[in-house]
Amino acid sequence: MGFFDRNRKALAARGIDPARLPAGQYTTDRFPVLHVGDVPAFGDLSGWSLRIFGLVEREVTLSWADLQALPHVNETVDIHCVTKWSKFDTEWTGVRLADLLGMAGPLPGAAALMQHAEYGYSSNVPLADALRPESLLADGYDGRPLDPRHGYPARTFIPHLYLWKSVKWVRGLEVLAADAPGFWERNGYHMYGDPFLEQRFS
């Protein structure tokens, strides 16, 4: 019996439905750290902002204080990394992306969202996926502010896709008329990234 089969058998022995684990994944209680570039150092957040722009009725720029004043929700979900680890029942806090995008008003014909982060990193998702109720601009994990290595002060969180589609250190949300590749997508990763379809690479 191979490693992945043993992992699934162990889940079943613990009373956890192995169907929660996509093919080619294993479960871990750790939260591995993977990212491109250095970890940004944020001190005073008075200069932090999030820009929502593109194919919208009005461009919106939110300060950190603006973001904190918006209604926050909690989501407990499983997450899946393209590097083959999955972590169950993770707890996140944030503002629904649907609420943020609604402030800008996507125009007719809006179809995709490009997420822009520090150091020029980006990743794309269909707009419909960003508008799902569990998709967040997250500023908390496990009851605490995000760890800097996991995206402090804020990251997007789109849990039904591989975790590279959830962008750490996000600074901009650009609404597009058509899907376009972000950083990893330009380097051979899948344009969508459904873990249960094993959409790892293009």
**Greater pLDDT, 34 or 87:** 87
Decide if 202 is inside a domain: no
Instruction: Provide the pLDDT confidence category of residue 89 given band limits of 50, 70 and 90.
Output: very high
Domain housing 169: 27-35+46-197
Quick check: 179 pLDDT over 80? yes
What pLDDT was estimated at residue 155? 98
> Cα separation of 123 and 189, whole Å?
10
Instruction: Provide the pLDDT confidence category of residue 2 given band limits of 50, 70 and 90.
Output: confident
Decide if 8 is inside a domain: no
What pLDDT was estimated at residue 14? 93
Decide if 7 is inside a domain: no
Quick check: 1 pLDDT over 80? no
94-128 pLDDT tens trace = 999 999 999 999 999 999 999 999 999 999 999 99
Average pLDDT over residues 183-198: 97
Count up the domains in the chain and report the number: 1
171-192 burial, b at 16+ Cβ within 10 Å, e below that, comes to bbbbbbeebebbbbbeeebbeb
> Cα separation of 123 and 147, whole Å?
21
Decide if 142 is inside a domain: yes
22-79 pLDDT tens trace = 999 999 999 998 877 889 998 899 999 999 999 999 999 999 999 999 999 999 999 9
136-162 pLDDT tens trace = 999 999 999 999 999 999 999 999 999
What pLDDT was estimated at residue 4? 87
> Nearest to residue 125, comparing CAs of 117, 113, 137, 138?
113
Average pLDDT over residues 157-172: 98
Decide if 14 is inside a domain: no
Domain CATH number, residue 173 = 3.90.420.10
Decide if 41 is inside a domain: no
**Greater pLDDT, 73 or 3:** 73
Decide if 5 is inside a domain: no
What pLDDT was estimated at residue 66? 98
> What is the phi/psi pair of residue 110, to 5°?
-65, 130
What pLDDT was estimated at residue 147? 95
Decide if 134 is inside a domain: yes
